[in-house]
Amino acid sequence: MKVTDHIKKANGKTLFSFEVIPPQKGKNIQDLYNNIDPLMEFKPPFIDVTTSREEYVYVDKGDGLLEKRITRMRPGTVGICASIMHKYKVDAIPHLLCGGFTKEETEYVLVDCHYLGIDNVVALRGDARKDESYFIPTKDGNAYASELVQQISNLNKGQYLHDDIKVEHNYDFCVGVAGYPEKHMEAPSLTTDLKRLKAKVDAGADYVVTQMFFDNQKYFDFVAKAREIGITIPIIPGIKPLAVKRHLQILPQVFKIDLPETLIEAVEGCKDNKAVRQVGIEFAIQQSKELRDAGVPFLHYYSMGKSDNVQAIASALF
């Protein structure tokens, strides 16, 4: 079922959803199930599965020489979605990236999604590869998420890349895109970034999921500004419970977001990471309650591995 239909069906009630990361190459999917299992009692209508970019690794060839090779450390997003749907009878949503994929490869992924009964996808550009200082579009790939959304919209209308091939079509993907309450790190201003978001909506996006934020006012202002420029689709807040002391440096550095002073002080006062995890849980509960009271359609959690903290938060709310 489409995310937008889940929202309509909920009739104003705030629902719970979360995101998982595929296990690293060679690991077992059971680890992922162990983290999903405790969250199922909160009845998520959907679970997102991220996609990781390809990266360079150095492989020891055994003769003392290292060879630089390209690899994907966490493959299998669409397969994992199929397993989640089969095991838990919920919608699973693959994240699709521009980076690392030609448009043709993307079309094949969409065809696979359709075969598997996946109704939703999240269309993203992806970050720059670790060995590149800025995002370089893949040859024959999409350069911006708006182009990827357009490709999916075209497929929904029956326009394949190779239109000369006459095939039946009944694609009808619901498309999610990313939004940034504190602007995307590369955008010159929030206003410009919002115009880019509008371009994704105009290309056919059906809903937005936000980057994590820790100050709800930033989300409320972002939604108000989006509405002012004619973005009417649902904007789902993404919430990350702060979990370790190092997050005080990592989160602002990697995601270019601000942390409230009250949270920083509470974390700095913790004697170990167990205490930090508890501070993160309590903060996220308060943040989630305020968002729920404001009537957000979903509270979407970035679980990133161990899900005990998201479980504690959901227990307080759902």
Q: How far apart are CA 86 and CA 225, in angstroms?
A: 39
Q: Does 187 bind ligand FAD (CB under 6 A)?
A: yes
Near ligand FAD by CB under 6 A: residue from 104, 132, 172, 186: 186
Near ligand FAD by CB under 6 A: residue from 4, 14, 50, 216: 50
Binding window for ligand FAD (CB under 6 A); candidates: 47-55, 112-120, 163-171, 309-317: 47-55
Q: Does 193 bind ligand FAD (CB under 6 A)?
A: yes
Are the C-beta atoms of 190 and 263 separated by less than 8 Å?
no
Q: Does 146 bind ligand FAD (CB under 6 A)?
A: yes
Q: How far apart are CA 231 and CA 210, in angstroms?
A: 14
Are the C-beta atoms of 238 and 300 separated by less than 8 Å?
yes
Q: How far apart are CA 97 and CA 49, in angstroms?
A: 12
CA distances from 166 to 158, 159, 172, 191, 271 (A): 10, 10, 18, 42, 65
Are the C-beta atoms of 257 and 213 separated by less than 8 Å?
yes
Which residues 95-114 are close enough to bind ligand FAD by CB under 6 A? Answer: 95, 97
Q: Minimum distance between the CB of residue 55 and ligand FAD, rounded to whole angstroms?
A: 11
Q: Which is nearer to ligand FAD, 135 or 245 (CB)?
A: 135
* Residue 261 designated active-site: no
Two structure tokens written together for 204? 């056919």
Q: How far apart are CA 99 and CA 97, in angstroms?
A: 5
Q: Does 23 bind ligand FAD (CB under 6 A)?
A: no
Q: Does 22 bind ligand FAD (CB under 6 A)?
A: no
Q: Which is nearer to ligand FAD, 144 or 160 (CB)?
A: 144
Q: Does 174 bind ligand FAD (CB under 6 A)?
A: no
Q: Minimum distance between the CB of residue 266 and ligand FAD, rounded to whole angstroms?
A: 25
Q: Does 238 bind ligand FAD (CB under 6 A)?
A: yes
Are the C-beta atoms of 12 and 295 separated by less than 8 Å?
yes
Number of residues interacting with ligand FAD: please give it, by CB under 6 A: 23
Q: Which is nearer to ligand FAD, 137 or 260 (CB)?
A: 137
Binding window for ligand FAD (CB under 6 A); candidates: 2-10, 35-43, 107-115, 186-194: 186-194
Listed in order, strand segments (DSSP E) in the chain are: 15-20, 46-49, 55-60, 66-71, 91-97, 120-124, 174-179, 207-212, 235-239, 298-302
Residue 70's nearest CA partner among 28, 131, 136, 142 is 131
Are the C-beta atoms of 168 and 111 separated by less than 8 Å?
no
Q: Does 126 bind ligand FAD (CB under 6 A)?
A: yes
Q: Does 184 bind ligand FAD (CB under 6 A)?
A: yes
Catalytic positions, please?
A: 19
| Residues of the shown chain interacting with ligand FAD in the complex, contacts defined by CB under 6 A | 50-53, 95, 97, 124-127, 144-146, 178, 184, 186-187, 193, 196, 200, 209, 211, 238
